[in-house]
Chain A
């Protein structure tokens, strides 16, 4: 299908983008990689009046080491993260997650800032961000991941607010992300992440609710010395996923447990 008509402007700085958003008003949208926004527009599920293209803002595409942190410019593409030597060394789980997003086209275009701002329940980075206590930096403030992913496709971002950076802690201990899907280029039906960090486990889940989930009950059980298999039984505690064409709620909860167990066992 063909999107409804819209205005288009290309910004060369964050300030300019923010100004353009203000000028266009409520129905304007930032365009980053376009791999979530454009499909919605083509189906006319989204009909923004204007697009502010931020792809020309050169200084939003970077990966910087900063002591015990890694800073990702919002426009950093999945392919860059997947292939980055620094990320592979300091935060290997994120490089692995990036390598399993969509297909080459998606990875060449999609951005880490776009995934965060889009806040799809099946997005993979948000799970890692939540689990590792990452921060989302905008042109106005810094927001903790746990305060950012509040509901389906819903974030605290204001209409003229632009995500500029994601900040992750360095974490290079044993880790594993298991993305369960039917096809290589599919979104996760359910995903489970395990990361050993500062002597404890961090466990995150994808697509088992309206937001990413941190499985604290599993983390606690592991902390108390439970075996992975026992601890993983808690992965579905408190979950209330909705069913869809690919999976019933029961199946999703079951997958949360199985994948969590496997992620912990396979973490290397």
Chain B
């Protein structure tokens, strides 16, 4: 086996020089001859009947080539947008989802008409001239109200707003609660969030009628899915469709859906005979690109006085928005890690998907796992508070020990939760902080420390797990081809949008093939040359896709070894492979390099029966999932007069098994934590409760934190290799987001504990905290007076 040189190396991402010097190539950078720009006319209401659409003025506007409404797409786009039942076998109603609204619009931003014009600005002007006669209908926004029997429905004519209602569980939950010394209950809000990728969505598409060929460049996480869906909708053979996701400026789960704009642009190209381009504006992005979270958790935990957790009941409401997107129901994967890092076998988890008149929600970074983690990490702190136990101690007492299977019978690969916790406590100086906290409290200052001993499930996915619920098994593919002069091209099915696959995968290939790192080219995101892949989301690309790269490289080495043995006139078993050199064991001086072998593979004199070339393909189906974990600790000070939170320290100790590139891992953690902090303290999408109209429609109204708000994140790790993939790696793309929000909120609750505040909802904005502090003080004064 080659001595590891590149795997584990902290090298800069090879993508970055190009991207940060403005030489990236995004969809919006591209032009085709004769292309038209498309503008979408969208519903300004949450829920409205479309009485009529008058396109006369728009059609006459300067530069306008065509205006289309639902009728024009009939026959061109068959069926409906796909909705899925993933992870929710008990789906109650598969709601139909048209490519374009015809009689009724069901969220603010839903498309009702399509304008094609020569210039982008002309398309923008003309969309304003399409006159739609809307009749506003009652909008469903609030989840508690939406499930009441008298509630209006989000779609006219459906029996109720419940998209799914499923309960999973194990153990004897009732007995656990009956035996408990303490039971804590809490409602925990997961506010709605915008994913806010730096680059919005964008599409450039050209249909060539004579060849019946469609080529689309789209800012997507899943080009192969896009091709599959377009094939089904347009009837063009998959072989004639090429989808390219060029440089993609972030996704965070908001680009795993195949959007109406993609279908409509493709169909409009066919209708008009012209290439079509669309680049989403930010206001449009906030309305129409899928949102995240929007959930309510009602939890109950039963425990003994000594801190032993006995039972856990959860009800998760998921606001699906107006339609249930393909990956939306992945949000109920919260049930898979409901009990977090703790050995809790009596668990009942109910998940209810609820339709509302808002933008659909989707699998936003973490999708279900941040929510589950927030619930259990808040829950365990509430129990600790109730029984007067230190949050560290109660965690240690309940940590799962390995080998471990969870309440649903999932066997975790590996883990050592105490190791990460211990390291995090040492890094932050936990005991010294508690001392300091005590001293400062006496001076009227409110400092707090919060823990999040998170776990995650990722590496989707083993076909045995995923194919049961998904239309396709989430395996991952690679093809590795060596060129005669000793360089290699690695084609992969996953599709990065900022994760650095070109670097990480090249590191894996360089080591395994024994070729220089610079001699490896990694190709992704073009269905024209990459094997079928499922895309990048759910922290799966390294575990599944990286393993596929490793496997193909190993296959190439196996063949190369045979050829090298032939060249060295030795038997295969006697040939060693080390640092890119094949040699007969014991005589390393007489070696053939991988490059020489590659050249030989293209000449004559091959061993009997061997084909030319050095090339291999792998579809890798991992035997099981992986379960990363770690401990994050946050230190805050709350200004009791203003409610402002000062984030003083943030420590992140994560364990994602073996690390290929520490710098990329750290980058993922930093970004993830920033997004978790954003949810904890800053961000919240608000819709008008009556009309369903988006109230946070610009980034002036929606506070994304910047560098000024995010503290230095002190990252480090423990390493517990995974056993469910040959790299020994676990996902890290979502870890930061999963871990961060409870660490921050637990710290705030700890800071405010002298005031009797036990729980704080997100975002813990100053006005919200101030109000809660006021109420707590009034309550304290009230009870003081009552005692006098």
Beta-carbon nearest neighbor of B681 in chain A: A182
Closest approach, in angstroms, between the C-beta of B61 and any C-beta of chain A? 11
Docked-complex contact A246 and B706, CB < 8 angstroms: no
Docked-complex contact A245 and B686, CB < 8 angstroms: yes
Docked-complex contact B709 and A184, CB < 8 angstroms: yes
B605 contacts chain A at the CB level, 8 A cutoff: no
Docked-complex contact B766 and A182, CB < 8 angstroms: yes
Docked-complex contact B124 and A251, CB < 8 angstroms: no
Beta-carbon nearest neighbor of B645 in chain A: A182
Contacts of B686 in A (CB 8 A): 245
Number of interface residues of A (CB under 8 A): 22
User: Which range holds the interface residue count of chain B?
Assistant: 20 to 34
B705 contacts chain A at the CB level, 8 A cutoff: yes
Once A43-B283, A247-B767 are accepted as A-B contacts, the answer to whether A184 and B706 lie under 8 Å apart by CB is yes
Contacts of A247 in B (CB 8 A): 767
Docked-complex contact B124 and A182, CB < 8 angstroms: no
- From A1, A180, A183, give the contact of B682 (CB < 8 A): A183
Contacts of B765 in A (CB 8 A): 182, 246
B34 contacts chain A at the CB level, 8 A cutoff: no
B436 contacts chain A at the CB level, 8 A cutoff: no
- From A2, A4, A183, A251, give the contact of B708 (CB < 8 A): A183
Once A2-B124, A5-B125 are accepted as A-B contacts, the answer to whether A258 and B641 lie under 8 Å apart by CB is yes
Docked complex Cα distance between A248 and B765 (Å):
12
Docked complex Cα distance between A21 and B46 (Å):
41
Once A5-B121, A245-B695 are accepted as A-B contacts, the answer to whether A251 and B703 lie under 8 Å apart by CB is no
Docked-complex contact A183 and B703, CB < 8 angstroms: yes
Closest approach, in angstroms, between the C-beta of B193 and any C-beta of chain A? 15
Contacts of A189 in B (CB 8 A): 766
A69 contacts chain B at the CB level, 8 A cutoff: no
Once A254-B770, A255-B642, A258-B641 are accepted as A-B contacts, the answer to whether A245 and B706 lie under 8 Å apart by CB is no
A186 contacts chain B at the CB level, 8 A cutoff: yes
Contacts of A248 in B (CB 8 A): 767, 771
A185 contacts chain B at the CB level, 8 A cutoff: yes
B529 contacts chain A at the CB level, 8 A cutoff: no
Docked complex Cα distance between A248 and B283 (Å):
25
B203-237, CB under 8 A of A: which get 1 and which 0? 00000000000000000000000000000000000
B57 contacts chain A at the CB level, 8 A cutoff: no
Docked-complex contact A1 and B770, CB < 8 angstroms: no
Docked-complex contact B706 and A185, CB < 8 angstroms: yes
Contacts of B706 in A (CB 8 A): 183-185
Docked-complex contact A1 and B281, CB < 8 angstroms: yes
Closest approach, in angstroms, between the C-beta of A255 and any C-beta of chain B? 7
B439 contacts chain A at the CB level, 8 A cutoff: no
B559 contacts chain A at the CB level, 8 A cutoff: no
Once A43-B698, A255-B642 are accepted as A-B contacts, the answer to whether A184 and B121 lie under 8 Å apart by CB is no
Docked complex Cα distance between A186 and B704 (Å):
10
Contacts of A5 in B (CB 8 A): 121, 125
B696 contacts chain A at the CB level, 8 A cutoff: yes
- Name the interface residues of B632-683: CB closer than 8 Å to any CB of A: 641-642, 644, 682
Task: Tell me which of B121, B281, B766 has the highest count of chain A C-beta atoms within 10 A of its own C-beta.
Answer: B766
Beta-carbon nearest neighbor of B282 in chain A: A1
Contacts of B708 in A (CB 8 A): 183-185
B386 contacts chain A at the CB level, 8 A cutoff: no
- Name the interface residues of B72-125: CB closer than 8 Å to any CB of A: 120-121, 124-125
Contacts of B124 in A (CB 8 A): 1-2
B181 contacts chain A at the CB level, 8 A cutoff: no
B179 contacts chain A at the CB level, 8 A cutoff: no
B775 contacts chain A at the CB level, 8 A cutoff: no
- From B125, B641, B644, B703, give the contact of A186 (CB < 8 A): B703
Closest approach, in angstroms, between the C-beta of A195 and any C-beta of chain B? 22
Docked-complex contact A183 and B642, CB < 8 angstroms: no
Closest approach, in angstroms, between the C-beta of A3 and any C-beta of chain B? 8
A132-144, CB under 8 A of B: which get 1 and which 0? 0000000000000
A180-210, CB under 8 A of B: which get 1 and which 0? 1011111001000000000000000000000
B16 contacts chain A at the CB level, 8 A cutoff: no
Once A1-B124, A5-B121, A5-B125 are accepted as A-B contacts, the answer to whether A251 and B698 lie under 8 Å apart by CB is no
Docked complex Cα distance between A182 and B701 (Å):
12
Docked-complex contact A245 and B701, CB < 8 angstroms: yes
Contacts of B644 in A (CB 8 A): 180
Docked complex Cα distance between A227 and B771 (Å):
26
A7-46, CB under 8 A of B: which get 1 and which 0? 0000000000000000000000000000000010001100
Contacts of A182 in B (CB 8 A): 682, 703, 709, 765-766
Contacts of A254 in B (CB 8 A): 770
Contacts of A185 in B (CB 8 A): 706, 708
- From B128, B642, B698, give the contact of A180 (CB < 8 A): B642
Docked-complex contact B767 and A183, CB < 8 angstroms: no
Docked-complex contact B682 and A245, CB < 8 angstroms: no
Docked-complex contact A251 and B283, CB < 8 angstroms: no
Contacts of B709 in A (CB 8 A): 182-184
Docked complex Cα distance between A43 and B771 (Å):
33
Task: Tell me which of B284, B642, B708, B709 has the highest count of chain A C-beta atoms within 10 A of its own C-beta.
Answer: B642
Closest approach, in angstroms, between the C-beta of B109 and any C-beta of chain A? 14
Closest approach, in angstroms, between the C-beta of B37 and any C-beta of chain A? 10
Closest approach, in angstroms, between the C-beta of B277 and any C-beta of chain A? 14
A241-255, CB under 8 A of B: which get 1 and which 0? 000011110010011
Beta-carbon nearest neighbor of A45 in chain B: B698
Closest approach, in angstroms, between the C-beta of B459 and any C-beta of chain A? 36
Docked complex Cα distance between A21 and B644 (Å):
46
- From B120, B682, B771, give the contact of A2 (CB < 8 A): B120
Closest approach, in angstroms, between the C-beta of A215 and any C-beta of chain B? 18
A156-195, CB under 8 A of B: which get 1 and which 0? 0000000000000000000000001011111001000000
Docked-complex contact A251 and B767, CB < 8 angstroms: yes
Closest approach, in angstroms, between the C-beta of A102 and any C-beta of chain B? 12
Besides A180-B766, A184-B709, 8 other CB < 8 A contacts? Answer: A1-B281, A1-B284, A43-B283, A183-B706, A183-B708, A184-B706, A184-B708, A251-B771
A-B contact pairs, 22 of them (CB 8 A): A1-B282, A1-B284, A2-B121, A2-B124, A2-B281, A5-B121, A5-B125, A43-B283, A182-B682, A183-B705, A184-B706, A184-B708, A185-B706, A189-B766, A245-B696, A245-B701, A246-B765, A246-B767, A247-B767, A251-B771, A254-B770, A258-B641
In order of increasing CB-CB distance, the 6 nearest A-B pairs are: A184-B708, A2-B124, A251-B767, A1-B281, A247-B767, A2-B121
- Which B residues contact A (CB, under 8 angstroms)? 120-121, 124-125, 128, 281-284, 641-642, 644, 682, 686, 695-696, 698, 700-701, 703, 705-706, 708-709, 765-767, 770-771
